[in-house]
Structure 1
Amino acid sequence: MILTDALRSAGAAVRLWCSPARVREEGTTPDYRFSLANERTFLAWLRTGLALIGGGFAVDQFLPRLHQGLRVTFTVVLLVGGALCALRAVNHWVRCERAMRRGEDLPVTRFPTALALGVGVLAVAMVVLVLLGRTT
């Protein structure tokens, strides 16, 4: 029952991602400046996702002497992080647009914190590897 409801809700969210015109069916049109700011935030999230994906490819291509398991782990973490960032971008855009149209508070999310912690941990691990001379 709970799983069915969750899948139904996720399906509805994905349909909104693919058909943003349906968002306009709700509430009233907000000031266009807010919608444009929401779009700029969406694009910033996409740039972050692309940067993470680029970082994943860079680790894979430019650190061939790094232990294979570590290199693959770092590469996969960065690539998955980039993909999640892109998916989160569209989800957050839709949620914010709907909230503005309904006159509700903007949704809060823990994703930026999780992303920052993940990137921070990865950066610290890379610093340790560089200091130990494991990347040469």
Structure 2
Amino acid sequence: MILTDGLRSIRTTVRLWFSPSRVREEGTTPDYRFSLANERTFLAWLRTGLALIGGGFAVDQFLPDLHDVVRAAFTVALLVSGAVCALRAVSHWMRCERAMRRGEDLPATRFPSALALVIGVLAVVMVVVVLMGWSG
């Protein structure tokens, strides 16, 4: 039962991603400045996701001397992080928009902290790899 409710909730949420006009059916229209600020935040998350994806391609193309497994691991980690960031951006935008329309508190999220931790760990590991000169 809990699994079915969870899947139904996910399905409803994803449907709203592709039909943002349905969000307008809830609550009242917030001050446009807040909606526009929410959209700017959404776009900033998309830029972050694109930067991570670009970093993944850069690692793959511009560090050919790295061991194949190490290079592939960094590439995949950056590409997946970018994709998750982009998906999380649309999810967060929609959740915030719905909360504003309902007059509720904005949803709390641990995602920025988790993303910062992943990027920081990847950067430190990459520095170690480069300094140790692990190559193929």
Which interval holds the TM-score relative to the shorter structure? over 0.9
- Aligned residue for 1:66, secondary structure, equals coil
Question: What residue ranges of structure 1 are gaps of 5+ in the alignment?
Answer: none
Q: Distance in 2 between matches of 1:38 and 1:49?
A: 17
TM-score after normalising by structure 1 = 0.97
Structure 2: which amino acid aligns with 1:82? Answer: G
Equivalent residue, structure 1, for 2:10: 10
Question: What residue ranges of structure 2 are gaps of 5+ in the alignment?
Answer: none
CA shift in 2, pair 1:44/1:4, >3 Å? same
Q: Cα deviations across residues 5-50 of structure 1 (Å, max 9, x unaligned)?
A: 1110000000000000000000000000000000000000000000
Structure 1: which amino acid aligns with 2:11? Answer: G
Q: Distance in 1 between matches of 2:135 and 2:104?
A: 50
Structure 1: which amino acid aligns with 2:48? Answer: T
CA shift in 2, pair 1:96/1:33, >3 Å? same
TM-score after normalising by structure 2 = 0.97
Q: Distance in 1 between matches of 2:9 and 2:76?
A: 28
Q: Distance in 2 between matches of 1:135 and 1:31?
A: 55
Structure 1: which amino acid aligns with 2:98? Answer: R
Equivalent residue, structure 2, for 1:44: 44
- Aligned residue for 1:92, secondary structure, equals helix
